[in-house]
């Protein structure tokens, strides 16, 4: 009887100690700049959900989260699961196996998300806002007596998280230098003004999506739906976008728009090659002017930059090729002070170069100022496993 009582007391004591460790972990993660922190424990694992709010790139935040959890649970022979969220939507699951001492990342969710999502949230990002400054450079080479014509703008964007998955963004464009571009770009005017809702399927099928309404890039406004699906193994994926939109223009702060909407779409097959951190994409697309064609992309991802080459061909236009890049810009850690808007630079800056000088066809649009090739790779599990160190 005494042995049974002693065993029960030891078990209760160990559970109490682990519970205390969970509270300490949450406190340390909050102090390290993470947000939307939730934690739970079962007999098999400890699970933590968080977002890398103070880190420019999620991979750098997840590397820090790994260090904190490994240090806090070093004496516990228990599995650790970290679920990283973006706008409170789960993106990836990292699992630490204590027997092998290795981490493994996947986009898949399991029952651990169902366990932790009901826990109270610490350091919620709902209602927090940011003022991000986007440097934008555009160049073209269309005249023979000048090498390049260029446009340089600083475009601050106010972004606020309204509820899980929802973000409002309002961007202004301030011209710094305009050589050869439209006169409207020489005046201060709004850029993208959007309301977007990100989501993930509730059945854990690796289906992600986003619905965006508002004023997009390339002087278009409307409603766009995007979706992604990752096959088992997660190297292959498909994505698609369909948008109902119309033309528009900001003449200063006067919004001029057309009332005749049209449909635009694209669908792509993607393959990611982990040894080189390179993604290959073949996309069929109906471009903004109605030309339908194929676009091939090859994008190499590095720690803080992404560089890509592309080629595109439609029925009514010549072959067009070019390159583009995105570079993450400092600061790489950003602190918040309560609910005051956080002022910082954008996640990345970059540009694309059209080497064939195609002026009319192959035109595309972006639904949000934060959309770029660097950020689209931010939650790639292969990239996280090879760079989160």
> What are the C-alpha distances in Å from 19 to residues 16, 46, 388?
5, 10, 27
Q: Do 134 and 251 share a domain, yes or no?
A: yes
pLDDT tens sequence across 60-106: 999 999 999 999 888 888 999 999 999 999 999 999 999 998 999 99
DSSP string of 316-353, one letter each residue:
SS--EEEEEEEEE-S-SB----TTSPEEEE-SEEEEEE
The answer to whether position 124 is within a domain reads no
Q: Do 112 and 141 share a domain, yes or no?
A: no
Q: Do 261 and 329 share a domain, yes or no?
A: yes
Per-residue pLDDT band for 13 (boundaries 50, 70, 90) equals very low
> What are the C-alpha distances in Å from 309 to residues 177, 298, 305, 359?
27, 5, 14, 18
Domain of residue 183: give its range: 129-387
The stretch 311-326 carries a mean pLDDT of 92
The answer to whether position 226 is within a domain reads yes
The answer to whether position 59 is within a domain reads yes
Higher local confidence (pLDDT), 182 or 119: 119
Number of domains in the chain: 2
> What are the C-alpha distances in Å from 204 to residues 23, 51, 165, 208, 227?
28, 19, 17, 10, 15
CATH of the domain at 33: 3.30.300
Verify cis geometry, omega within 30 degrees of 0, for the bond prior to 77: no
* Predicted TM-score (pTM) of this structure: 0.91
Q: What is the mean pLDDT of the chain?
A: 91
Q: Do 157 and 26 share a domain, yes or no?
A: no
What does the alpha-carbon distance between residue 83 and residue 381 come to, in Å, rounded to a whole number? 12
Q: Do 169 and 106 share a domain, yes or no?
A: no
The stretch 379-389 carries a mean pLDDT of 95
Percentage above 70 pLDDT, the chain? 93
């Amino acid at each position: 009887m005494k042995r049974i009582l002693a065993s029960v007391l030891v078990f209760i004591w160990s559970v109490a100690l682990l519970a205390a460790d969970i509270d300490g972990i949450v406190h340390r993660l909050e102090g390290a700049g993470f947000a939307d922190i939730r934690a739970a424990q079962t007999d098999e694992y400890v699970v933590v959900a968080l977002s890398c709010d103070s880190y420019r790139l999620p991979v750098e935040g997840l590397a820090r989260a790994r260090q904190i959890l490994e240090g806090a649970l070093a004496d516990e022979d228990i599995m650790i699961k970290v679920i990283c969220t973006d706008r409170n939507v789960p993106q990836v699951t990292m699992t630490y196996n204590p027997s092998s001492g290795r981490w493994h990342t996947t986009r898949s969710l399991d029952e651990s998300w169902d366990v932790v999502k009901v826990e109270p949230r610490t350091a919620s990002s709902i209602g927090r806002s940011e003022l991000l400054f986007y440097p934008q450079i555009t160049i073209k080479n269309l005249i023979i007596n000048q090498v390049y014509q260029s446009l340089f703008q600083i475009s601050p964007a106010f972004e606020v998280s309204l509820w899980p998955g929802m973000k409002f963004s309002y961007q202004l464009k301030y011209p710094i230098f305009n050589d050869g571009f439209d006169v409207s770009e020489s005046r201060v005017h709004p850029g993208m003004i959007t309301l977007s809702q990100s989501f993930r399927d509730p059945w854990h099928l690796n289906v992600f999506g986003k619905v965006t309404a508002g004023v997009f890039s390339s002087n278009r406004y409307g409603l766009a739906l995007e979706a992604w699906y990752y096959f088992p193994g997660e190297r292959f994926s498909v994505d698609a976008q369909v948008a109902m939109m119309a033309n528009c223009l900001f003449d200063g702060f006067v919004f001029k728009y057309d009332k005749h909407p049209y449909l635009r779409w694209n669908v792509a097959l993607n393959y990611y090659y982990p040894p080189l951190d390179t993604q290959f994409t073949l996309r069929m697309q109906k471009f903004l002017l109605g030309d339908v064609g194929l676009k091939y992309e090859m994008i190499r991802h590095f720690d803080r930059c992404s560089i890509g080459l592309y080629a595109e061909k439609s029925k009514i236009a010549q072959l067009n090729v070019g390159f583009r890049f995105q570079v993450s810009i400092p600061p790489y850690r950003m602190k918040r002070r309560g609910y005051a808007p956080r002022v910082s630079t954008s996640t990345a800056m970059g540009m694309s170069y059209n080497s064939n000088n195609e002026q009319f066809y192959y035109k595309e649009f972006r639904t949000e100022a934060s959309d770029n090739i660097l950020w689209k790779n931010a939650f790639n599990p292969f990239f996280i496993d090879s760079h989160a160190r």
